[in-house]
Amino acid sequence: MKIRHCMIAAGMLFGLLAASGASAQSCGNNDFNLTSDSSAQGLLVTGSSTGYRGYISSGNLAPGTWSISINDTGWPTATNSRRTYIRNTFYTYDAAAHVFRGSFPSSLVGFHIISTNMQFNGVATITMEAPDTNLNGVFDNTEFAAAQTFVTSASAPCGTSTPVCGGPGSGNGAAMGAGGVTNPIVGAMTTVPCAVAVDDAVWSDVKSLYRD
């Protein structure tokens, strides 16, 4: 009877643990296609809204939401002053390619994806390129505000509120300096399983089996 009881308990244990992970999406190559929502976004909006956000429109992380936030502490809030500050601080001119290239470091950029069964929180770098449309070497307001190529490299390691998977990712598309994404940001997170504790409720049930 004792052996039979142990076998039943072991079977129930396996069932409980399997159920606890049944809804989790597998790690690996988790791709995405990111589009903007209708909220005010871009480089000229201030505070927590600085950056880009919206919906995961396709890929195996869809449906879901995403955001790339940029810490604007110390930036001017008046539009003209802010635009001038951003151009002077983050952009350089590539005369050979006729583009203005902006680089935003990971110390300023947060990266967040929330999907049905997965969540990634980490940091990212952003590179944006605006064409010098009139070839005069001056970063005009219209060139700044229009669509720029957008490349991001992200890192969402385990231990940063990533309950299932963690790892590096990247994406590219186009976004306006003074607005949202114009061409979807297409990319993927290359992830590995995170070592996390099994849900407390499951362990409570397991313990109760062996107390009987």
Cβ neighbourhood burial of 96 (10 Å; 0-12, 13-18, 19+): exposed
Residue 151 pLDDT > 50: yes
Output 160 or 3, whichever has higher pLDDT: 160
Token code pair at residue 84: 């001038």
Q: What's the pLDDT tens digit per position in 1-20?
A: 544 444 444 444 333 333 33
Gap between the terminal Cα atoms of the chain: 13
What residue ranges in the chain does DSSP mark as E strands? 29-36, 51-58, 64-70, 91-94, 99-104, 109-115, 119-131, 147-156, 165-176, 181-190, 192-193
What is the Cα–Cα distance from 132 to 152, expressed in whole angstroms?
Answer: 21
- Rounded to an integer, the average pLDDT of 181-204 is 76
- Go through 117-143 and write b for each residue having 16 or more CB atoms within 10 A of its CB, e for each that does not: ebbbebbbbbbbbbebeeeeeebeeeb
Q: What is the pTM (predicted TM-score) of this model?
A: 0.79
Q: Does the structure show a pLDDT above 80 at 188?
A: yes
Cβ-based neighbours of 12, under 8 Å, separated by 6 or more: 209
Peptide bond into 168 cis (omega under 30): no
Total count of residues recorded for the chain: 212
Residue pair 173/127 in contact (Cβ under 8 Å)? The answer is no
Residue 110 in this model has a pLDDT that exceeds 60: yes
Task: Tell me the Cα Rg of the chain.
Answer: 23
